[in-house]
Each structure stands twice: as C-alpha cells, then as structure tokens.
Chain A
C-alpha cells in the first residue's frame, strides 16, 4: 500500500523541484498582483522619467493663469468703477503718482517717510500712499517739492479699515512698533488670525478695497471690544518708490 502511494507522490515532487524557477516567477507575479502592480508602475516611472512634463509646462500654465486673472481683474475694476459712478460713490479713478523715498524713519519716536514729490506735483495732505503689497500710510504734510508720509505704524495714525470675511469695520491704530493694532467697535466680531484687512469699500478718506495686512493674533478678552494685531503687507524697509494717489484734475 505504501509503494504505489510513494510512486504516485514522487513525480509531482520531482516536477516541483524541476520547476522551481517557474514557481518563483509565479510567486513574483502574485506579489505584483497583490501590491497592485507596484513593481510595474515604478519601473514605468523610471523608464518614462525623461518624458515627464517638465517645469516649463507648469510655467506655461501659471503664466496663462496669471494672464487670465490679470484680465479678469482689469475687467472687474472697470466694471467696479462704472458701478460706483452709477451709485455716485467716491470714485477710485484719479492718477497714481510715483515718488521716490528720500528719507525713511521707521523706528524711533516718529514713523514716517519723506517722499520726493510735493504740492507742485499734485500731492495733497491726506492722500493715500501705496506700495507693492498694499497701503503704506497717508500724507501728513506737504511742501512744494516733498511730502511727509505718516506710516500706519506711527502712534498718531488712525485709519478706518474693513475685515472682509466677517464684514466688520475696525480702527487701525499705530503703536510705534512694526505691527499696528486693530480695534473693533462691536463685541462679537469673530475675527481669526489669517483674516485679510483692507480699506473699507465705502471709504471716503482712502481709496476703497486696498489691502492693508493680515490679522496675526486676536485678543478676545480686551475691554471694551476685541483687539487684533495686524501684520502689514507692504514691507516699509524694502521700499524705495511709493505711489501716491492724486485726485483727478
């Protein structure tokens, strides 16, 4: 009874021994199947690397996106000023005058810039001063050829601003430090760090919808109303030319 059984079992064993490379291949294929083709797709990735979409392609896309957004911005601005004219709100029209920064005192008892354009060039007291990044301050005094700009960080600076996400007005008060304080009038404003602060859409003193900065931290326990510290978006130390908004002649 034993020998036929052995005879029956031995050939498969021999076959198995003879076919072990094929079994290895089979095990590898099962492995590939179980790992969802990991080896195959990795090998494909290695082989096809020279043909991957390079940085040039993403730059094209970004450039196209920038162009699209710029065009939309221009269109919306034109639309906005037309609607403002219809509503007889303060117009955003009026020229922007480039002016060099000839003196910069951003620390100390006063936070101010002196710019090389004055009343002869149409700069008036109270005009908004812009820089790449957003609002910088307002013209405090004017001489024929120069103007002194009170920065938003100056202790005498008080500017009404608007937090768009929560639709609340606030007063941006300079502290003499790099970051001014945003004071609210209402109790529950729900402002969070990261909220963008801009000039009010209905502002009459300043051009509407200019970026001012980003809320950095909020003190909800301040009395009588919450306060927030704002990081300004325009870097004062790095700016050599500013733009002054002059009224349309």
Chain B
C-alpha cells in the first residue's frame, strides 16, 4: 500500500520542478520541492530510507538541469540527518519545527549549490538572492505541506515509529 504512494509522490517532485508554478514563486524563485518531499518522508521512515530516497531524488533532479551543479550530496545528507532525527528525537509534529527544519535544509542545499558554483568558476552573483528567496518560501510552505505528508506516511505505516 505504501510503495505506490511513495513512488507516485516522489515522481511528482521533478514534475513540480518542471512546472515551476508561477503563483508559488518568490521573486521568481520556486521552492525546493525536493526538501518539501524528503523532510516528512525521512522523519517518518528513518535514516537508511532517507538516504536512498535522497539519492533517488538527487539523480532525478540532476537529470533535469544542464551544467555541472548537483543537488545529490546535499539531499543524501539531509535524508540521513532527518531520518536520524525522526528515530532519535521526540516525535516532530509541530508545524513550527517542520518549518525550521525545512529552512535549515534548504539553506544547506542552497549553500552546497553556491559552493559548487564557486568551485566551477561560475559567477555567484545571484546566489544569495536565490538562496534567501528559496529558503524563505520553502520554510513558509513546509508547515502546510509537510505536516499533511507526515500524517499520510504515519497512517500508512503506523507501527514504524515505536
């Protein structure tokens, strides 16, 4: 029951990235859909699953963009971190916590992309603007979207976290 839902919702992430819905943009910058999907999944399903799905998302998203920048390492790291957090810490259900975690995650993802731009000798002139806009927007959307997904994953696998 859970696998079709996982596959379907994970496939939705690259489609949302491609659609780049105009209303859901801040100063022209879209939110990080990968973070919005990975956060509740890793919190509900643990570090190993977080790493695997982080890798899957990273591979799919890197295929969509030309150029040498990659989101894969940051997504793998985030999957592992959030999975650990979901197992070790007290259950995270409050919207504020989800927003904060999404904000930190997006900032980390943006920071890794910025470092890669500098590493490849590209201009990082617009990077701060993109990073701030994406971090803010993702953190604003996370409480709404992530808590719903968290409910869904916990409902589909009630015995997982205990």
Contacts and interface: CB of A to CB of B under 8 A. Distances in A.
Interface string B79-121: 0000000000000000000000000000000100100010010
Contacts of B19: 103
Given A104-B20, A108-B28, A108-B30, A141 B126 contact: no
B126 A148 contact: no
Contacts of B113: 109
A176 B30 contact: no
B123 A107 contact: no
A155 B114 CA distance: 11
A41 B1 CA distance: 91
Contacts of B69: 109-110, 156
Nearest to B66: A140
B28 A107 contact: yes
A224 to B, nearest CB: 15
Contact of B122 (A103, A104, A114, A155): A155
Contacts of A109: 65, 69, 110, 113, 130
B134 A156 contact: no
For chain B, the bracket of interface size reads 20 to 34
Contacts of A114: 18
Say whether chain B's binding surface is mostly helix, strand, loop, or mixed: loop
A73 B30 CA distance: 42
A155 B66 contact: no
Contacts of B130: 107-109, 176
B99 to A, nearest CB: 21
Interface in A103-134: 103-110, 112, 114
B65 A112 contact: yes
B65 A155 contact: no
Interface residues of A, number: 24
Contacts of B110: 109
Nearest to A125: B66
B66 A176 contact: no
A175 B125 contact: yes
A200 interface: no
A136 interface: no
Nearest to A140: B66
Contact of B20 (A105, A154, A174, A176): A105
Contact of A174 (B64, B68, B123, B134): B123
A225 B25 CA distance: 37
B66 A112 contact: yes
A157 to B, nearest CB: 9
A175 B28 contact: no
A155 B27 contact: no
Contact of A148 (B27, B66, B124, B127): B66
A175 B66 contact: no
Nearest to A139: B66
A109 B124 CA distance: 10
Nearest to A155: B122
Contacts of B124: 155, 176
8 contacts: A109-B113, A155-B117, A155-B123, A155-B126, A156-B66, A174-B123, A175-B125, A177-B125
Given A154-B67, A155-B67, A156-B69, 18 more contacts: A103-B18, A105-B20, A107-B28, A108-B134, A109-B65, A110-B69, A114-B18, A140-B66, A140-B67, A141-B66, A148-B66, A155-B123, A156-B68, A156-B122, A175-B123, A175-B126, A176-B117, A176-B125
Interface of B: 18-20, 25, 27-30, 64-69, 110, 113, 117, 120, 122-127, 130, 134
Interface of A: 102-110, 112, 114, 140-141, 148, 150, 154-156, 173-177, 181
